[in-house]
């Protein structure tokens, strides 16, 4: 296990952040999966980091809620998770997440490859650039303002879309996720407001991961896995109140399919990056 700087940190090329109920990418009992503990300036990640190989590519996996869902959304150590990935050399992160639908055209079981987000919380540490001394951040770069017009890596999104098409998974190529603080769900009034605003899905964890990945120069894309219709849609034609039994059924089905999709995407990811995800810092420092 990695406990101090004297022990070499393992290397990985691709990172995966598992969402609710998604605690393993590959079965650790089958061999080839090693577990590591990595300390960061921001504390420990959500759980041990599992390292494995897929198509000869090294993949690091962190269940963002911890195994057994021990961390609520507002207590997840987002900065530690992303920092650990960066220290391992990860250049691309795939981030599946359970979401609720705000749009009646986005059905249960659909996958959303998001192209934008709306941040609806203000209590989370969402930057490495606080003006204070941080390991690995130069004094001249401790304040930075990052562009977020296109928050998700276009290349990685294309890979995910191609994978979903190949596997015949019902998907949407665009979508805006509104990220609420949690852990409570929205009221019906809040949910109706989000829908009227034109946003597509709702979630509690999609932010600040995307912003932190941008700051670290890591390509990042998320996959929204629709498990239910949010409160504001209930009562519309064909949409019934949330039933926990049905949610869990969709939930488990989605997680099995997203594992298959992620493995397909990893196989197709090229070695070199042609996007600008690793160059945003050059434009962010005054």
- Residue numbers annotated as active site: 228, 230
Tell me the residue ranges of DSSP E strands in 55-205: 57-63, 92-101, 111-113, 116-120, 171-172, 176-180, 201-203
Q: DSSP 3-state assignment of 75?
A: helix
DSSP 124-161: S---S-SSS--TT--GGGSS-----SS-S-HHHHHHHH
* Contact criterion met (CB below 8 Å) for 14 and 213: no
Are 117 and 95 in contact, with CB atoms under 8 Å apart? no
Q: Tokens at residue 192, please?
A: 């109706």
Q: Identify the residue whose tokens are 């994978």.
A: 163
Determine contact, residues 12/88, Cβ cutoff 8 Å.
yes
Total number of residues shown for the chain: 286
- Structure tokens of 1? 């296990």
HSE-CB at 5 with a 13 A cutoff on CA atoms is 3
């Amino acid at each position: 296990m990695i406990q101090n700087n004297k022990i070499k940190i393992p290397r990985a090329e691709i990172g995966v952040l598992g969402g609710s109920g998604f605690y393993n990418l590959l079965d650790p009992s089958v061999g080839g999966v090693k577990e590591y503990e990595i300390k960061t300036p921001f504390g420990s990640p959500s759980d041990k980091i599992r390292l494995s190989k897929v198509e000869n590519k090294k993949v690091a996996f962190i269940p963002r809620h911890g195994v057994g869902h021990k961390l609520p959304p507002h207590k997840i150590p987002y900065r530690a998770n992303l920092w650990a990935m960066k220290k391992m050399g990860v250049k691309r992160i795939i981030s599946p997440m359970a979401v609720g639908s705000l749009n009646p055209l986005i059905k249960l079981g659909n996958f959303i490859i998001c192209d934008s987000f709306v941040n609806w919380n203000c209590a989370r540490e969402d930057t490495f650039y606080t003006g204070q001394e941080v390991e690995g951040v130069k004094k001249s770069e401790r304040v930075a303002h990052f562009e977020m017009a296109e928050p998700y890596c276009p290349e990685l999104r294309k890979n995910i879309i191609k994978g979903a098409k190949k596997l015949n998974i019902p998907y949407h190529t665009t979508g805006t996720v509104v990220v609420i603080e949690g852990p409570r769900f929205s009221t019906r009034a809040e949910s109706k407001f989000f829908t009227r605003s034109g946003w597509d899905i709702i979630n509690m964890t999609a932010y600040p991961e995307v912003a932190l990945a941008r700051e670290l120069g890591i390509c990042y894309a998320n996959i929204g896995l629709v498990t239910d219709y949010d409160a504001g849609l209930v009562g519309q034609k064909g949409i019934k109140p949330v039933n926990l039994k049905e949610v869990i059924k969709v939930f488990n089905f989605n997680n099995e399919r997203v594992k298959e999709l992620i493995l397909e995407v990893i196989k197709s990811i090229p070695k070199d990056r042609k996007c600008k995800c690793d160059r945003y810092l050059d434009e962010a420092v005054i």
